[in-house]
Amino acid sequence: MNNLLILLSILASFSVIIFLVSKRKNFAISVLAGIIILSIFDYKNLPENLYKTATDWTVIALIIIIFLINLLSTILQEGGAMGELVKFLSQKLSYRGLVIAIPSLLGMLPVPGGALMSAPLINKGGGQKNELTFVNLWYRHIWFIILPIATPLVLISDLSEVSIYKLILMQFPIFLLSFFIAIPVVKKFSGKRENEVGGNYFALIPIAVTVSTAIILSFFISTYLSFLIALPIGVILATIISKKREISFLRKGTPVSLLIAIFEIMLLKNIIFSMNAPEIIYSYLSNFNPIAMIAIISFSVGAITANNLAAIAILYPLLSPFIFTSKLVSLLYISSFIGYLVSPVHPCLVLTYEYFKPKLTDLYKLLLPPSILLIIVSAIIYSL
């Protein structure tokens, strides 16, 4: 197959994936459509790529890890532990503290459109609608920059073969900047404390134990194994502290479509690499500045798809020839994340917007400047 045909097949495949995802079609079906298009041009290698993907223990481990992360989140939310934590914090924190803490804590639950869960909880102390929308959206999502159980971060760590803890360490300064950059907006809110009763902090225990256990174990065994050991412990602890224990939690916490999509993403990567597509793309684009190209393309794909997982699945195989250091993996991740965060079709943005109903231009006046600043600072830091 000549190089031009390979490029056209890649362009067609990813255009279809981006189009379907942007139209909110099922993620697994969207990726499958892209795989089918590529397989038409590379059908001879499909059986080998299927076998390679299905027998790769890291792929199997990744699927299990993502299943356990979703199960842990479901138990904490559906079992009532997270609600009790919100009540507890309402007694301890001022309203300013709550508008940061509640979206942040619920942001640890990888639920699509989950910002809608925190919106009613922070809509208590006044404040402009555009400011409430911004704060709710911002603090729900910035933790994905450093949260070890964030699915997109787990995925890019796997694709790039860079330790998730190394990525977190490199991205921590960007997280700190993102955290404090929104504080001036938070200071506009009331400093009063809510008169809640009851509640407890038990929901923090499974998350803290899971993350700390995984970090400690990773010094002695692989990151995958450390999470495969730590996450079941977290699930058990979450079940113990839950007010409700129902078998339906297992069904709700098993995102079959997402797990299938993870397998498809890894298959797609293997197909792309078997076609030598990254090397061909590099030969055409090698004269471009890699920092600018990674930042701009990653932001654009993140914004178009409004799905960080899909964006990373698309971006890394294509941009891998330009990623010479682990710093550029972080640049890809941050830029894609920011694009996803500000996308007008991002479910959390849409749902929060529908709840508070601010003026859209006023919202983007708050949202775009810090977002652009984060990408610029990331590009500078990761180019050093």
Domain chopping of the chain, boundaries: 3-383
Alpha-carbon distance 96 to 86, whole Å? 14
Dihedral (CA of 377, 359, 357, 84) sign: positive
pLDDT of residue 22 exceeding 80, the answer is no
User: pTM (2 decimals)?
Assistant: 0.83
pLDDT of residue 246 exceeding 90, the answer is no
pLDDT tens digits, 272-295: 888 888 888 888 877 889 999 999
Question: 3-state class of 127 per DSSP?
Answer: coil
Q: Which of 171, 154, 172 is nearest to 163 (CA)?
A: 154
- Average pLDDT (313-339) is 93
- Report which of residues 281 and 339 the model is more confident about: 339
pLDDT of residue 111 exceeding 70, the answer is no
How far from chain centre, in Å, is Cα 3? 33
Q: In this structure, what are the phi and psi dihedrals at residue 170, rounded to the nearest 5 degrees?
A: -70, -30
Amino acid type, 80 = G
Q: At what angle do helices 223-241 and 204-217 cross, to 10 degrees?
A: 160
Q: Which of 41, 19, 42 is nearest to 30 (CA)?
A: 19
Alpha-carbon distance 262 to 267, whole Å? 9
pLDDT of residue 124 exceeding 80, the answer is no
Alpha-carbon distance 243 to 233, whole Å? 18
In this prediction, residue 79 carries a pLDDT of: 87
In this prediction, residue 125 carries a pLDDT of: 60
The answer to whether 281 touches 7, Cβ cutoff 8 Å, is yes
In this prediction, residue 366 carries a pLDDT of: 95
- Average pLDDT (125-143) is 88
Amino acid type, 378 = S
Name the burial class of residue 377, with classes exposed (0-12), middle (13-18) and buried (19+) by CB atoms within 10 angstroms of its CB: middle
